[in-house]
Amino acid sequence: MQPISTEMKNIPQSHYISFVLHVLIWLTLLLLPYVVSNAANHYSIGSIPASFFSINWLIHLVLFYGNAFYLVPKLFKRQYWGFYILTSTVLVLLSYVLKYNILKVWFPALVDDQPAHKFIFAPSIVIVVISFIYRMVVDRIRFEKEQADSRAEQLANELKFLRSQISPHFMFNVLTNLVSLARKKSDQLETSLITLSDLMRYMLYETQHKKIELRKEIAYLDNYMALQMLRFASDVKIDYKVNLNDLDADTTIEPMLLIPFVENAFKHGTGSATTPWMMIRLEVDRRKLHFEVKNPYGAKIEPNGIERSGIGLGNIKLRLDLLYKNSYSLTINDKENIFHVILTLQLS
């Protein structure tokens, strides 16, 4: 027994379903006399014998697929509209000639049966019209699917690019922190390196997934905060609190979604303010996340400069629009040299 080829395996399931539906519909039409009639009537439908009824629908089958899969794509789709109308008209007339000659040779009794003529000849035009509509609908569905697939691929590439932007930016900040500890010859350097290894493991492996468990994102944020607290010690007053219950721990979130806000706070809130401080709150209740970051910044820094100088905030806005378009709200306030970010997000 020959194995199924790769090409066959790659055929979408929808194509198989469509093929089966077509086969069932045409078999039903071809065998209709044997279903609705009986042997006593010689399986006739009215005055039309079963054999001619089936032959008639075989001709319609050729009309349907000849128009749908050859005339429409080869002529109409290429804007040869006049030639398409002429060719489809000729095809219908040929079907008339063929049907009449079959009647004349094999079923002469029906030649003068005028009621039977309407049933025999009229469907040719109807079949061509139906096949035209079918082809238009199928092409439209295919076009919309291709557009959706293209958009999905574009979205995936955009998200991949945006994530790649975050990692170098974040690593630059963390390594700067470690250099500071090394210069101080701090005993906490070893602990910081272990924490950094956990951060890198997260960035290398967890961020490859479309969504990750919220508890993992929070663990990543905890490690980042631990590094920053080791670096600044008592130089910066940090108020960091997380409230996550067990019911919401397994909800999912886009990786690396929260950290840019915190990075921005450390970048602009620790070096310029007279008395550096920051407040970070994360709370999740019934799959609704509330995230808040607040910090002062130096008077010499322009408000727009805070957002423009870091990769993070512009990046995060775009990612939120791509992934949570109608499921989030983001408020960024800047008053009296206090930068305040509030994010609410409906999680899945």
The tens place of each residue's pLDDT in the chain, 348 residues long, gives 444 444 444 456 777 788 888 888 888 888 887 877 777 676 777 777 788 888 888 888 999 999 999 999 989 988 888 989 999 999 888 888 888 888 888 877 777 777 667 777 778 888 999 999 999 999 998 888 888 777 767 666 666 665 655 556 556 767 887 887 788 777 778 888 888 888 778 777 776 777 888 888 898 899 888 877 877 777 888 899 999 887 787 889 888 888 888 888 887 777 665 778 899 999 998 889 999 999 888 655 444 444 433 455 676 787 788 788 889 999 988 888 888 999 999 987
User: Is residue 187 assigned to a domain?
Assistant: yes
Q: Specify the pLDDT at position 8.
A: 43
Q: Are residues 110 and 165 in the same domain?
A: no
Q: Are residues 171 and 294 in the same domain?
A: yes
Q: Specify the pLDDT at position 264.
A: 82
Read off the CATH number of the domain in which 252 is found. Answer: 3.30.565.10
Q: Are residues 244 and 331 in the same domain?
A: yes
User: Is residue 316 assigned to a domain?
Assistant: yes
Structural domain boundaries enclosing 71: 12-121
Query: What is 49-63 written as a DSSP string?
Result: -HHHHHHHHHHHHHH
Q: Specify the pLDDT at position 307.
A: 42
Q: Is the whole-model pTM more than 0.85? A: no
Q: Specify the pLDDT at position 7.
A: 42
User: Is residue 130 assigned to a domain?
Assistant: no
Split into its structural domains, the chain has a count of: 2
Q: Specify the pLDDT at position 306.
A: 40
Query: SS3 sequence, the chain?
Result: CCCCCHHHHCCCHHHHHHHHHHHHHHHHHHCHHHHHCCHHHCCCECCECHHHHHHHHHHHHHHHHHHHHHHHHHHHCCCCHHHHHHHHHHHHHHHHHHHHHHHHHHCHHHCCCHHHHHHHHCHHHHHHHHHHHHHHHHHHHHHHHHHHHHHHHHHHHHHHHHHHHHHHHHHHHHHHHHHHHHHCCCCCHHHHHHHHHHHHHHHHHHHHCCCEEHHHHHHHHHHHHHHHHHHHCCCCEEEEEEEECCCCCCCEECCCCCHHHHHHHHHHHCCCCCCCEEEEEEEEECCEEEEEEEEECCCCCCHHHHHHHCHHHHHHHHHHHHHCCCCEEEEEEEECCEEEEEEEEECC
User: Is residue 296 assigned to a domain?
Assistant: yes
